[in-house]
Structure 1
Amino acid sequence: MILSNNEKAIGVFDSGLGGISVLRQLKHQMPNEHYIYYGDSAFAPYGEKSKEEITKHCFEIMEFFIQHGVKAVVIACNTATSACVNDLRKAYPELPIIGMEPALKVVADGKKDHTIIVMATHFTLKEKKFHDLMARYSNENTIIKLPTPKLVEIVEQNKLQDDVLVDETLHEYLDPYMNKTVHSIVLGCTHFVFYKEKIKQIVGEQILVVDGNEGTARHVEKILKDKGEQRDDMDGEVEIYNSSNEPYYLELSEKLLEQDLK
């Protein structure tokens, strides 16, 4: 059966399970759409891999989506976006490919003398894409790069419910900055959205904690609306795939999809 573009799915992928937080936001924003999620848990975490390795896996995932006839692809991973979003767009010019980057612009635009912490993977923080973004705002603000790889591992190992481990890890990363004036924290990895409420509790209401999920979902919705390809008259669907053969990852994906992120 040949599907119209309206009926086709939106592909969403991540290095593992962090992108489920983006999928949740997309579902909230566009509940009628059909989504295909692909987690590359067999090769996670991307944040510790080379650009060449990440790019190779992203192209393989894109071919998976092409075979499934998607109408758009969301790279629900800051690291993968940094590594190869431009290469993917060149290779698939007919397909809208929406990447993610740390939401630094949201908190820094028009600000002066603000201190902003950007929590992300080592790869995202060292890449030219983030360096260029940071350069736009670092003259008038203090931007602190904070790699937090253990937070990715906790999600992937299904340890989010281990409150002691989560609290100890968050305090390990954040406590060195709590005696300083910090205005905003940017969650520059989709895995970190699962910690958003706990981070708010630790740092207090005076510090703004932001992620890029909502803005990404709005952007995808606008693209589909402009192309006249929204799926408005059907019930929403979600298919989840994973590069790992372990059924654990599919089960955990379903669990995270239903979790209340607030």
Structure 2
Amino acid sequence: MLALLLDFCFGIAMGALGGFFGIGGGLIAIPVMTLWFDQSQTLAQGTALIMMVPNVVLAFWRYQQRTPLNWSLTIPLGLAALISAGIGARAAITMDARTIQIGFALLMLLLAAMNIFRARLIASPKAIAHATSCRLAALGGGCGALGGFFGVGASVVAVPILTSVFGLSQVAAQGMALSLALPSSLITLITYGTQGHVDWQMGFAMALGGLLSVSWGVNWAYRAPEKLLCGLFSCFLTASAVLLFFRH
């Protein structure tokens, strides 16, 4: 019972942070679960997805209320992610967990660098490329495959690209990225679950906690300066990556 209560409280914290950063909480939860809960990389990824799916639904709805999306661009993004996420997830469950962990740490360092670069552009954001259905479908496909492989939801890769390449604001990019995170997270969870890489009891407790707090995180995101969002996110990613490199 105590373990379930701790998992529930952990879910509350991850839900709030996931809503704040627009990533569903998985990127934050997974390194914590591997480092503190001593779970394998694939088990942490699969379990975190139980929390992520409902959190992403609620966060997407909250962002949509504040920043309505262009559905003609959003649908190709989400559909491409749905297709490619299953491919990435199937590849992950056949590989060594430590190899995936090192790759996960490298991904976080890359995202931290992209966030730092993006922070310098916030004062005068400029689009490098025009957002078209084809380009966003290509982005969704690539991000979906990475999200499926690392079990983090495709939005973690999409947000810095949507801001730095397509010139979207931080909160607008977070809202659109959630539209591809939902289908990709769902198909990834199914893939991990059918292969036994999920702790369902812990995941459901985390999901209940996350549903209570994700709206708080979204509200904080709209109040916080964009440079602060980028800076905090980058610091967390860098610290987690360093710890994962030294975990045996």
* TM-score, length of structure 1 as denominator length: 0.27
Bigger RCO of structures 1 and 2 (CA < 8 A, at least 6 apart): 2
Query: Which is greater in Rg?
Result: 1
